[in-house]
Each structure stands twice: as C-alpha cells, then as structure tokens.
Chain A
Amino acid sequence: MQTEKGLTEDLRRIVGPDNVHEATEEDAVEGVEPDFVVEPGSVEEVSALMKLAAREGLAVAPRGGGTKMHIGDPPRRLDLIVSTARMNEVLEHTPGDQIVRLQAGVKLEDLQKYVSSSDQMLAIDPPESGATVGGIVAANSSGPRRYRYGTIRDLIIGITVVLHDGTVAKAGGKVVKNVAGYDLSKLFTGSLGTLGVIATANFRLHPRPEASRTVAVEVTEPQQAQAAAQAIVHSQVEATAVELHYGENEKLLAVLLESISGGIDAKAETASFLLKQYGEVRTLSQEEADRLGSLTSPQVVMKIGAPPVDLAAVLESVLGAVERKGLAHPRITGHAGTGVTLVGLSEETEDGAAGFVEEMREIWVRRGGSVTLQRAPLTLKQRVSTWDNGGDYLGLVRRVKEKFDPRGGMNPGRFLGGN
C-alpha cells in the first residue's frame, strides 16, 4: 500500500484534480468514514479507479444520489466512494423505439423531464427524490406503479458494469426483446454495490398516460383493506397502483387509475363501484394522493414482503405486536396489490424495536415472506441486521459474490449474509 499522498495523486491523475475530495463525516456509510470521494466522468475512468483500488486493496462503495446509503448493514471497511455524480448524460433516446440509454448518474427526475417531451416515461416511481437511475437499479427501489409495470428488473434491458478489478462488461442491449447471453442486468438489480459499479443502464420506456385519477375507500379494519385490494386486483379495471395507508386515524385503500382521456371516467366508475361495498369512496386530489406517499420521517422503517392475500394477517400481526409491546401506533403504508407492507416506527426504545423486528421475522419469514429494514439506527442494525436469514439460496448468493468480487472489495459486509 502506498502513502496517502501517493494515492491522492494517483486518484487525481485518473479523474482530474477537481474530482477527488477528501471524505467528510457526511460521506460516512453507516458510521464508517471513507478516505476519499472520487467522481469519475466516464466508464474508462471508473475502470482505472477500480484497477487502482484492486491494486491497493481499497474497499469501494459506489454512490449515486446518496439517497439510499442507509440501506444495508455497516460496511466491514470502506476507503473509497465512487460517485457517479458526473456521469449524468443521456446517451441515447429513440422515442420510436421507446428505449433510453443512460449513464448511471442521471437523476430520475431529470430523465423523466427529458423523455416527457416525447410523451414517455420510465415507469418507476420510488419515493426518494434525487435518486439516480444507477442507484435505483442497485437498491431495487420501487413505488406504487410496480403493480402495473413491475419493478426496475422488468424495465432494465441492458447494463455496463465495472468489477472491482477494473473489468468492464456489458450485458443485454438496447432492444426490449433480447435473450443473448446471461441477463446480468437482473443479477445487478438489488445487488447494492456488492458486485461492481453500475456505469450505464438501458431501459424500456412507456407512453405517459393521458389521464389519471386516484380513487380511495376509507376502511376501518385489516380485513376490509384486504378485501378492497382483492376486489381491484381480481377485476378487469387494469389499475396502475393499489396502495394502502393505514394510519391511526385515517385508513385508506387508494387505487391509481391511468388511461386515455376517453377511458378514465369508465375506469374510475368501475373502481368506485368495486370499492364502495367496503366503505365511503372518494376521489383524491393530486395533492392528497401525493401526501399519502412514503415513509420518510420515521426512524425505523421495516419492509414486510408477504403474499397479497395475507395483507390482513400482516396488519393484524403488526398491530398485535405493537399493542402487546406497548409501542406507539406505527405508520403503515404499502403496495397492497403486490404484497409489500412498510411499517414506520418512531421514538421507540431499542429493545422495543428489536423485539418487534424479531417477532415479525419469526412470523413472516417462516411463512415464505421476508422482513428487512429499510431504515434503522445503527445500534438497531447491530442487534437485528438489515436482512433476515434469506432462504436456502444463501450459499448461492455467497458463491456469486466470491466469483464477481473475489477480493471482497465491493461494499463488503453490507448485503444479505454478510456479503
């Protein structure tokens, strides 16, 4: 290992002197502070940086908008943050092909603005603002629209990655239909920077809907919420999203409908008809629909993945545990159509929160679901880990990690199974 001064010079030589920064406290990842933040401007520069990192044995964490650095367990070590901030170019957008090729650091908002001039969109709507497309892929973030369009794995059609040893590899391409070679785009989706740096990504786009409306039913108990969600899911209304907001006072099952101008009224009417047997139905203003959105404020956000027909059981298990443990009423939202429930806890004692997470894992992992922490204080993660135990595929996860990153230099320790 060379001196820090020598390393600084090497880094500067690769990315230019203005693009090497000494890390500050703000750059710490779950309490671990790196030495440098570097901002490469091209795939070649990423590759050169990674070769240097491999040679010097540096641990690397990729970073996009930095909106999701709190996901995952603390890294075992961290020397270098490779930021894609400067890699923010739209490489190709062919409206007639409904595809776009992007450098990983393009922010989702900027992309949406760019393609909206062609009445198109990337059909993903994660809650965090300022996220880059690379970060969305790496963390597999999703939002309400996943009910209709799937998650980012269903939209990504090509990728360029740089491994820790500097190898640059691409997979997929810029056509929607393509089965040549292994689908590394999907392997890297949700890999949280543990396999390599995502340098570019290609996506399929969708037409922007002409009209949209959110219809919601007020429910009073878990069974109703589940029944209302099931009514929409099994109908022919082709909803875009089926969202749950289960607060202490307000409990809504909201359905986002999108269509052409001439089709939206009929859709809204059908959805309202289906929902009204479960409570009072109203159309939400855009403002109200947005406000219901995500869980950004709670200190602890837990994600439960369970079969959609277990929605009531999920809610009952959460509410039951909260009551037994004397915790405050949590904020609960979820993608009810796809079986994702998010539970937000605030101002709980660590014992209370840890016991709660453990109890949820006890119930839902055993039933084939998963319970992971989306956000939590470090001390809580140290007790219960971000991840549950996964399944019998854990060995395979480890072998994939070993093959792609044999030196363990990519975000070591942050992923499932300590990978």
Chain B
Amino acid sequence: MERSGLIREMEGIVGAEGVIHEHEQLRTYECDGLMNYRVIPDLVVLPETGEHVQRIVKLCYDEGIPFVARGSGTGLSGGALPVESGVLIVLSRMRKILEVDIPNQRIVVEPGVVNMWVSQEVADEGYYYAPDPASQIVSSIGGNLAENSGGVHCLKYGFTTNHVMGAEVVLPDGSVTHIGGGRAPDAPGYDLLGAFVGSEGTLGIATRITLRLCRVPEAVRTLLAAFEGTEGAGGAVSGIIGEGIIPAAIEMMDRLTMEAVEAAVHPGLPDAGAVLVIELDGPEAEVEEQFGRVLEICKENEATEIRVAEDDDERALFWKARKAAFGAMGRISNDYYVQDGVIPRTELPAVLGKISELAGRYGLRVANVFHAGDGNLHPLVLYDNDTEGEAEKAEKLAGEIVFACLEHGGSLTGEHGIGEDKKKYMPKMFTDDDMNVMQLLRCAFDPHQLANPGKIFPTPRLCGERPGPFQMHPLQKAGVVEQF
C-alpha cells in the first residue's frame, strides 16, 4: 500500500488528528529514554480506544507493516525505538481508569495511564499500587507491563509481573484475547500473562490491564545512614538481610552520586562515602522492633551518621534525593550513560571494586546508585559528548560493567530491559538454544515478527512457512534473517 493510502486508512480509524505524518512532527518520536539510538517512523498513530488499536494492528498485519508500541517513552533500553517504514502506535491518549474494585483489590486501566495516577486514584481508600519505578510520575502502566518494571520497593513487594493480574491484548494479527484471570485466580492453561509481561512489546499490545492493589501499611519508618565507604554500607545491607529482615527498600548512593544530588535538589545529605536509605513497613509492633535492629546493624557497621525521618516530609526528602539521582547527573557531567545490571547481593563488594578499577582504566567517572537489597546496580557512566571518542568509550565501559555482573552470576538487566541497547550482549548470557527456545514463544504470538521487530534478540528467527497474508518475509527476502 502507498504511504498516502495508509495515512488515509489510519485516519479512517483514529481521525485526522490521530495520525502524524509530517517529517518534523515525526522527529518528536524518533527515540525513547535511550537517546543515542534514533529512527524516524513512517507514521505515528494515536489510538483512543482498544478497538482503535485492534483495527490499526489488523491493518498493519494485512499490509505486512511492522509496528512498535510506545507509552510515555521513558524506557531506557530503546524498547520503543521506532522501526523504519513502520508504524509507531502511541498509547498516550488511552488514559482512562476503567474500573476500581476495592473489595477485590483490583483496578482496571488503559495502557497510557501514568503509574502514579493509580496510587493517587485509590489513596483515599487506603490502597496503593506497589511497583514504583523512578519514572513513575511519567511512565505508563502499559510501558511498565512491557518492561516488567521494578522500582525501589520491589524487594518486599515484587515487580510489575507480580502485580499485573490480567490483560486484554491485541495480538500481532489483530485479534483480541484476554489472558490472566483478572479478579479470579488460577486461570487454566499456560501462564500466558506471565510470559507476556516483560516481553518488551514483541508479543502484542495490552489495551486493558488489571492490576493488584495493596493495602497501605500501618507503619512506615525510614532512615538515612551515612558510611565512610560502600564497604560499610554493603556490610549493613548484608547484616540486615542476614537477620531475616526484608525491608520495603534499601537503596545505596555513593559519594559521586550524592555530590550530584546535592547540587540538584539540595537535600542536605551528610558528607560521606556512601549513604543507605532504608525503609521498613508493616504492622506497627513488627516495624518498631525491626527498625531498632536495623539501627543497631548500621551502628555495628560504623555508620558515621544516622537520620531517622521524623515525619512524612522528611521521608519524602530522603526519597526525593534518591529518585533525583539519575537526572542530577546533569549537574556534574555533560552526558551520562545509565547502566542497569544485576548481581547476587553477596557479590557486591567484588563488583564495586571491579567497577572502580574499570573506571580508572577508562579514565571516566562512574557514579553508583542502586537497589542494594536485590543487587540491582545502576552505574552511571559520566562522559562528555563534545570530547572526541568519549561517548564510544563510555558505552564500552558500560558494557564491561555489565559483563562483570554476568561473571559474578548476575544478569544483563534488572528492570530496564534488553530492547535495542543490549541485544548484542544477549549471547553472553544465553546460548543459541536458549534464545531459539525463547523465540518459539515469539513464533506462537507473532509468526510474522511484526510487533517491535529487531528487539531483544540479536538474530531474529523466522517461524516457518505458514499460510498468511504474505509468503516471504521481507527480511528473509533481503537475506537479513534466516529461516527457523
């Protein structure tokens, strides 16, 4: 189909104001939060209903046009990077909260609903939505679902995948299906929802999402503890976990991170080599006693200063400091690269040592901020784009850091996803067989590889000949991919 014909068809579905096709306007959508990859899509379409999405995807399927779904575009792995000659389906107009069901502790939302709105919607009822990525004031539930987003409170409460209970999904052939029980437990059949959450937009588009709501805890206690270095802070983390305490959150920032945060949001952080922000929540009696133990453990690990949040304002200040960390890097560096790696918690000292050694060898600064409780590191590699070759050096260093995570038994990504950014590293973590078997799932959902093609896996595989709207995949015709 000619481009003009496609525009006309899309306008027939969503109206003229829902289709963006002028080059300059399309550039707004050329990247997501990973800004070193840019692709201008052929068209951007902004559906307002699930039916719109279904018709758009069906049209793409009939015409053999690849499509990419995008929420708020805050992703850090290029998961919403458009594909050339493809359609970008932007879900930011689907922002309705459809049903609130407090008795069953569920809420049903459209994919464009912003994470934070969910908790705000049910706050008066004493409920909240637990997964809280740092981007939560902007990022959408649909995007969170696609990436299986984490957050600072997932040590105790789990990740997005533990909180999505059901979804209406538009499959890549334009059909609609409902996966997961929603309000009812244990839907029979394979756990298709478990496989779909975190599939980075490669299996279809969720158009209606049922989330689990959590009761606001009776008591919350938060402290900020300063240490001379990351060793002491790490020792405290091990001590707390070793006691059998699962805090709602344990976050660590190193000196460089604190310097940036101080410059950006002036929280008045102590002068120290590392700080921990530790939060406990739950029933009052339990929290009080465990909080006492946590204080002792911090002291045993030679905390130089401990501040206990006296009220909600001070607690909010601690969290503001932590959540501002990424953005604050702009204060101390022109450019920075956010890495996301995971290690077993006990490997923390070894890996931090390795990161510092690598930083020295590359002559670049690396700020460390991470979810210490679950071993999820976010090293921020600082560089200057105006200095010749430094961007490449930074990316290479960031790569070496994530290899160090793998060597120590960890993972390529804890919460940002593989997307475009890390697919080249996948063979370091998985064998060809591992990836081929994973892609069997892709073949079941999307045999023609139209949904977000080219992401996650370094080598796309085709799924065998099937009767369908077109005989040979264009990528296969061009010799880009092999038959599977």
Contact = CB atoms under 8 A, between A and B. Distances in A.
Interface string A176-190: 111111111011011
Interface residues of A, number: 88
A97 B346 contact: yes
A179 B415 contact: yes
Given A393-B192, A397-B192, A175 B438 contact: no
A294 interface: no
Given A179-B415, A207-B244, A370-B186, A393 B178 contact: yes
B246 A403 contact: no
A280 interface: no
A393 B179 contact: yes
Interface in B100-134: 102-105, 126
Contacts, number: 262
B45 interface: no
Given A305-B187, A393-B177, A181 B375 contact: no
Contacts of B190: 187, 190-191, 195, 397, 400
A151 B198 CA distance: 18
B182 interface: yes
B232 to A, nearest CB: 17
Given A150-B162, A177-B414, A305-B185, A98 B241 contact: yes
B413 interface: yes
A66 B418 CA distance: 39
Contact of A267 (B215, B244, B283): B283
Nearest to A154: B162
Residues of B in contact with A, size category: 35 or more
A264 to B, nearest CB: 9
Interface stretch (A13-21, A83-91, A165-173, A216-224): A165-173
Interface in B11-43: none
B285 A370 contact: no
A380 interface: no
Nearest to A339: B185
Contacts of B140: none
Contacts of B182: 368
A370 B188 contact: yes
Interface in B419-454: 422, 426, 429-431, 433-438, 440-445
Contacts of A234: 102, 126, 215
Given A183-B197, A187-B194, A368 B184 contact: yes
A250 B147 CA distance: 47
A190 B185 CA distance: 13
A355 interface: no
Contacts of B105: 233, 308
Nearest to A170: B434
A267 B186 contact: no
Contact of A177 (B103, B246, B342): B342
Interface stretch (B294-302, B387-395, B404-412): B404-412
A206 to B, nearest CB: 7
B337 interface: no
A374 B179 CA distance: 22
Nearest to B422: A180
Contacts of B181: 305, 368-370
A177 B161 CA distance: 11
Contact of A263 (B171, B184, B285): B285
A393 B179 CA distance: 6
Contact of A387 (B188, B191, B413, B430): B188
A404 interface: yes
A399 B282 CA distance: 43
Interface string A287-311: 0000000000000000101111100
Interface string B185-214: 111111110110111000000000000000
Contacts of A207: 244-246
B188 A372 contact: yes
Contacts of A98: 241, 345
B229 interface: no
Nearest to B158: A154
B183 interface: yes
Contact of B346 (A94, A339, A392): A94
Nearest to B439: A182
A267 B392 CA distance: 56
B194 A183 contact: yes
B438 A182 contact: yes
A163 B161 CA distance: 25
Interface in B344-362: 344-346
Given A183-B198, A238-B283, A177 B374 contact: yes
B183 A339 contact: yes
A96 B242 contact: yes
Nearest to A371: B188
B189 A236 contact: no
B434 A392 contact: no
Contacts of A163: 437
A396 B154 contact: no
A208 B179 CA distance: 34
Contacts of B290: 260
B434 A369 contact: no
Nearest to B179: A393
Interface string A187-224: 10111000100000000001110100000000000000
Given A186-B195, A305-B181, A388 B188 contact: yes
B60 interface: no
A235 B284 CA distance: 13
A146 B438 CA distance: 28
A380 to B, nearest CB: 17
A177 B410 CA distance: 9
A233 to B, nearest CB: 7
Closest 7 CB pairs of A and B: A186-B194, A207-B244, A263-B286, A169-B437, A266-B285, A236-B218, A307-B183
6 contacts: A174-B344, A207-B245, A238-B282, A267-B283, A335-B185, A400-B190
Interface of A: 94-99, 119, 140, 150-151, 153-154, 161, 163, 167-171, 173-184, 186-187, 189-191, 195, 206-208, 210, 230, 233-238, 259-260, 262-263, 265-267, 270, 303, 305-309, 335, 338-340, 368-370, 372, 387-388, 390-397, 399-400, 402-404, 415-417
Interface of B: 102-105, 126, 147-148, 150, 154, 158-159, 161-162, 171, 175-179, 181-192, 194-195, 197-199, 215-218, 238, 241-242, 244-246, 282-286, 289-290, 342-346, 371, 374-376, 409-418, 422, 426, 429-431, 433-438, 440-445, 456, 463
